[in-house]
Amino acid sequence: MERSHRSCLKYIQALPRRTKTDIVNSLIGSPTLESHIDKNKLRFLGQLCILPGNKIVKIVFLNRLTSYFDNPSVSRGFIPDIVRIMRKYNVFNILETFVESGFFPNKYSWKQSIKKHVMEYETVKWRERTTSNSSGVLSDYRMVHDSLSTFNLWTLSLANRHLIHECRSAVYLIGRYFSDTRHIQCHMCGFSSDNIILHYLYECTYSESHRHTFWRELQLKCGHELFRKFTSLSIYMQITVIFSSDSNPLQAAEAELMQLAVVCLRYVHIIRALFKVQMHV
Ligand SMILES: [Zn+2]
The CA 208 to ligand 1 mean position distance, Å, reads: 10
**Per-residue pLDDT band at 280 (split at 50, 70, 90):** low
Q: What is the largest CA-CA distance in the chain?
A: 77
Query: Which amino acid would we find at residue 48?
Result: L
The CA 231 to ligand 1 mean position distance, Å, reads: 22
Region 250-262: what's the mean pLDDT?
87
Q: Tell me: the pLDDT tens digits for 144-191?
A: 999 999 999 999 999 999 999 999 999 999 998 888 766 678 888 998
The CA 201 to ligand 1 mean position distance, Å, reads: 9
Is 264 strand, coil or helix? Answer: helix
Q: Distances from the Cα of 187 to the Cαs of 180, 190, 230, 281, in angstroms? A: 19, 5, 30, 11
Q: What 8-state DSSP symbol labels residue 149?
A: S
Per domain, the residue ranges of the chain are: 1-150, 152-279
Distance between CA atoms of residues 146 and 246, nearest Å: 11
The 10 Å CB-count burial string (b at 16+, else e) for 107-119 is eeebeebbeebbb
> Long-range contacts: 209-217, Cβ < 8 Å, 24+?
210/267, 210/270, 210/271, 210/274, 211/267, 214/263, 214/267, 217/263, 217/266, 217/267
The CA 241 to ligand 1 mean position distance, Å, reads: 22
Region 71-99: what's the mean pLDDT?
90
Q: Tell me: the pLDDT tens digits for 3-56?
A: 888 899 999 999 998 899 999 999 999 999 999 999 999 999 999 999 998 899
Note the pTM of the prediction, 2 decimals.
0.85
The CA 280 to ligand 1 mean position distance, Å, reads: 15
